[in-house]
Amino acid sequence: MSLKNKNIIIGITGGIAAYKTPYLIRLLKQSGAEVRTIMTSAATKFITPLTIETVSQNPIACEMFPDRYASTHHIDLAEWADLFVIAPATANCIGKIASGICDDLLSTVICATKAPVMLAPAMNTQMYLNPITQNNIEYLKSLDYIFVGPGSGELACETTGVGRMLEPDEIYSEIESFFRKKKVKKVDLANLPLKNKKVIVTAGPCREAIDPVRYISNRSSGKMGYALAEAANDAGAEVILISGPVNLETDANINLVRVESTEQMYLAVKKYFKNAHYLIMAAAPADFKAKKVAIQKIKKEKTNNSGQPLELSPTVDILSSLSKVKKPNQKLIGFALETENGVKNAKAKLKAKKLDLIILNSTEEATPFDNDSNRVIIINKQGRQEPLPRMDKKELAVELIKRIAKVK
């Protein structure tokens, strides 16, 4: 996405990773962002102000009270920013922010700004793992400071471990993602007829055991389902999120029910469906399960290198089962992911399972698995198709909830 008209301040502190920051600034400028920079005194030992001024095309700010500005220079900068990014963010910088210390221009502007602050940590592994540093990071996260990284790899101190600043393109992607998500406003959903309606959303994969340590599953991150649950919650609905095993958290107002297998998901959906107004099946239940689950781990040596026969049987079809007991006021929304004949197969699923709407995931440009963005085609009962452009899944969830709320 373009970052045109976005005001971004880049703070640079005294770490060797400062040599990467000009590349980040260049990426931001190429995307149309307006970039201003603040350097600490220590940062100027690693990279020159002239380099930063050249790539940002703006004067650099280093001094708290420069001759050419009034004494409120720090307030002017604090109010100008849409986003504040500190890259690299040293342990010292993180500690000062967490403690509210304002002893230089950078820490003073951070204290004064209302803009979101994103930090890209960079430091020695032991400094990063120090309990005090970890406490500072957790405390700042609780105040909605955004942390990106650090990564792991070779460090300047000739050791290998966690503490390496993310690469400029990775930080840029996080900045771009931040502004995408910022577009999603709760006000977009305020006027939908979902207030106090009961909405069930399923998310994530299901796992069907083969033996105590192996299972069959479908690929799914759960991100789309969780985003839909949060969008429905923002619209005032009473949301039950039935989730397979994923590493995601959701809003405290959402009733989160965690399950493992397709049968467990079916039983959970069936339990709540009677009083629900909408069921949005964004999960990826397994289509097959092992006919017989081994009691002990199947040992490779015992197969004589000829392979272990695995007999499969179909799992319960959740949507088909519930369509048989669906009431006139209940709406069923399905998702489809096809590797061929996408629209044709999605329409067949729509009809066979008596759905009110089906959302066809795109697999042409990039698979939706684990990605933060997706492109879909919405197909209604009359077969009308509405393609939506690729967008962040949180933004996409808002668009989908808007259309789901209008289904008649």
pLDDT exceeds 90 at position 264: yes
Looking at every residue in the chain, the average pLDDT score rounds to: 85
* Percent of all residues in the chain with a pLDDT value above 70, rounded to a whole number: 89
Per-residue model confidence (pLDDT) at position 185? 52
| pLDDT one-digit tens code per residue, 166-193 | 889 889 888 888 887 665 555 567 778 8
Alpha carbon distance 137, 86 (integer Å): 14
Question: What is the pTM assigned to this prediction?
Answer: 0.58
CATH number of 186-404: 3.40.50.10300
At residue 261 the predicted structure's pLDDT band, cuts being 50, 70 and 90, is very high
Phi-psi sector, 295: left (phi>0), alpha (psi -120 to 50), beta: alpha
| pLDDT one-digit tens code per residue, 27-65 | 988 888 889 898 888 988 888 889 888 888 888 887 766
Alpha carbon distance 36, 77 (integer Å): 9
| pLDDT one-digit tens code per residue, 327-362 | 989 999 999 988 788 889 999 999 999 999 999 987
Q: Is 157 assigned a catalytic role?
A: yes
Alpha carbon distance 201, 227 (integer Å): 10
3-state DSSP assignment of residue 304: coil
**Mode of pairing for the β-strands spanning 357-361 and 385-387:** unpaired
50-64, 87-101, 114-128, 236-250: which range is least confident on average? Answer: 50-64
| pLDDT one-digit tens code per residue, 266-299 | 999 999 999 999 999 999 999 899 888 988 888 7
Q: Would the CATH topology of 7-182 be identical to that of 186-404?
A: yes
Q: What's the distance, CA 21 to chain centroid?
A: 24
- Mean pLDDT over 109-121 rounds to 88
Q: Which of 147, 128, 166, 146 is nearest to 17 (CA)?
A: 166
Per-residue model confidence (pLDDT) at position 365? 47
Amino acid type, 141: K
Alpha carbon distance 331, 357 (integer Å): 8
Among 62, 93, 157, 206, the active-site one is: 157
pLDDT exceeds 80 at position 308: no
C-alpha R_g of the chain: 26
Contact 363, 339 (CB under 8 A): yes
Contact 208, 315 (CB under 8 A): yes
Per-domain residue ranges for the chain? 7-182, 186-404
Q: Does domain 7-182 have CATH number 3.40.50.1950?
A: yes
